[in-house]
Amino acid sequence: MAGKSKVRFKASDIWDSPDDGLRYEVIDGELYVTPAPGWMHQYGLGRLHVRVANWVDRHNLGFVVFAPIGVILDDADGVEPDLIFISHERAGIIRERGVFGAPDLVVEVLSPSTEARDRGVKMRRYAAAGVPHYWLLNPPARSIEPFVLGVNGYESVGVFGPGSTFRPSLFPGLEIVVDDLWAPGV
């Protein structure tokens, strides 16, 4: 009797996911389903989006989009990052349905259910796909942790927490006051 074959998903399967409020991603041919995000996730992401999008628009640098947006990295990897930036130079990867290629920046917001994946398999897939900048927004720690793609994968730029200001190399001149990303008292 032949061995049991394992079902492998294609990146494009993310387009066929149900409209049920959950997030469906395919990473290395495996299907991942994540529950809808919570308050701090969305609040921090929204505040970061405003700062980055305003800077990008003001300087005519490209396009900023937040989830849900499908990003096909290759045949086995279809993801829905929390926020992406695509420069004008890489705008050819944008299609009506989503993004087909590596954005210049991917931001993932950490949660207890996704942190291991965001720091593990997703980080490795983004690096393999050639995403130059990867930021992790961490609501419980009220911090942002940027990474820059190097020869051996992502290299940490540091962790910017309460009381600090993040100055991303991707956007010279932009200053993100970390405390401004989080709702006081929540």
Higher pLDDT, 112 or 99: 99
Q: Which residues pair with 32 in a beta bridge?
A: 25
Query: How confident is the model over 58-82, as a mean pLDDT?
Result: 94
Answer yes or no: is pLDDT of 71 > 70: yes
Position 21 scores a pLDDT of: 78
Question: Is-contact 31 24, C-beta < 8 A?
Answer: yes
Lowest mean pLDDT among 108-117, 128-137, 149-158: 108-117
Question: Is-contact 47 142, C-beta < 8 A?
Answer: no
Model confidence at 1, pLDDT cuts 50, 70, 90, reads: very low
The DSSP string of 77-127 is EEE--SEEEEEGGGGGGB-SS-EES--SEEEEE--TTTHHHHHTHHHHHHH
Model confidence at 7, pLDDT cuts 50, 70, 90, reads: confident
- Enumerate domains of the chain plus CATH numbers: 37-181 (3.90.1570.10)
Name residue, tokens 């995403």: 131
Mean pLDDT across the chain, nearest whole number? 92
What is the pTM assigned to this prediction? Answer: 0.90
Distance of alpha carbon 144 from alpha carbon 79, whole angstroms = 21
Instruction: Name the phi and psi angles at 106, rounded to 5.
Output: -125, 135
Model confidence at 52, pLDDT cuts 50, 70, 90, reads: very high
- With a CB cutoff of 8 Å and minimum separation 6, the contacts of 86 are 62, 63, 65, 93, 94, 99, 103, 104
Answer yes or no: is pLDDT of 148 > 50: yes
Position 46 scores a pLDDT of: 95
